A = this chain, B = another copy of it.
Amino acid sequence: MKQITKYVIKNSLKRIFLYRACLVRLRMMGVERVFSYTLGNETGVTPDQVRKDFSEFSIKGNKRGGYEIDELLSTMESIFHRNKDHNIVLVGMGNMGQSLSKYSRFVQRNMNIVATFDIDPFKQKMRSDIPVYTMNRLKEIIDRFKVKVAIVAVPEISAQEVTDELIRHGIKGIINFAPVLLKVPPEIVVNNVNLSDELESVIYYVHNLLKADGQKNIEYYTRL
């Protein structure tokens, strides 16, 4: 009973990510507390929106005193389940897969790629920090590391087949870089990232903005 259940990250959640990144930076700069005004200014969001977003996630501040950054960050950590580590597998060690496997920021955020998989024996011989396995070890690794989330970085043609296999072995969430809409059962979370579309949309907006020349941006964009 596979079906297309596309989802996009809710804007309010995207903004929470934004706030967090900003808070981490401010904290490193020695700042201890923020107001919705400060945070809004820093992230290009109105203070009202910041407070509404916090309200949605039941994040509380101190009347008049604003928000204590450390407290805010630890509240966010528990919202995002960042207190514990998350094991991830990556399928497809081509250009994209290799690049992602080396990306240190995932680890910094407690997202560990514990193993990668590829059908190409040459890729399997690659020396790398993270092991590259054949597909037949998929189940073993997913079970051993209690992996719930996978990165799909295989060619378009193989993406659905790989996805089916991942789900069969217990994967619940997928971030997919292949330019296809994966069909999955409704309880599976899929985030389709299509970089060609992202780039092309920039071109589209550049052209239309140049024509429109100025204030009518709203017609073409949606604010985050």
Contact of A99 with B105 in the complex, beta carbons under 8 Å: no
| A136 interface contact, C-beta 8 A | no
**B residues in contact with A194, CB < 8 Å:** 17
Contact of A203 with B173 in the complex, beta carbons under 8 Å: yes
Which one, B44, B172, B198, contacts A175 given CB within 8 A? B198
Contact of A217 with B186 in the complex, beta carbons under 8 Å: yes
Contact of A199 with B106 in the complex, beta carbons under 8 Å: yes
Chain A 82-93, CB-CB to B under 8 Å as 1, else 0, gives 000010100000
Contact of A224 with B6 in the complex, beta carbons under 8 Å: yes
Q: How far, in angstroms, from A220 to B206 measured CA to CA in the complex?
A: 32
Within 8 A of B (CB), among A187-203: 187, 189, 191, 193-203
Which one, B4, B197, B205, contacts A173 given CB within 8 A? B205
**How many residues of A are in contact with the other chain, CB < 8 A?**
71
| A168 interface contact, C-beta 8 A | no
CB distance from A167 to the nearest CB of B (A): 12
**B residues in contact with A26, CB < 8 Å:** none
A contact residues vs B (CB 8 Å cutoff): 3-11, 13-14, 17-18, 21-22, 43-44, 79-81, 86, 88, 95-96, 98-100, 102-103, 105-106, 109, 111, 148-149, 151, 172-175, 179-181, 186-187, 189, 191, 193-207, 209-210, 214, 217, 220-224
Top 10 closest pairs, chain A to chain B, by CB: A4-B44, A173-B206, A7-B221, A95-B99, A99-B99, A173-B202, A17-B197, A189-B205, A9-B201, A6-B224
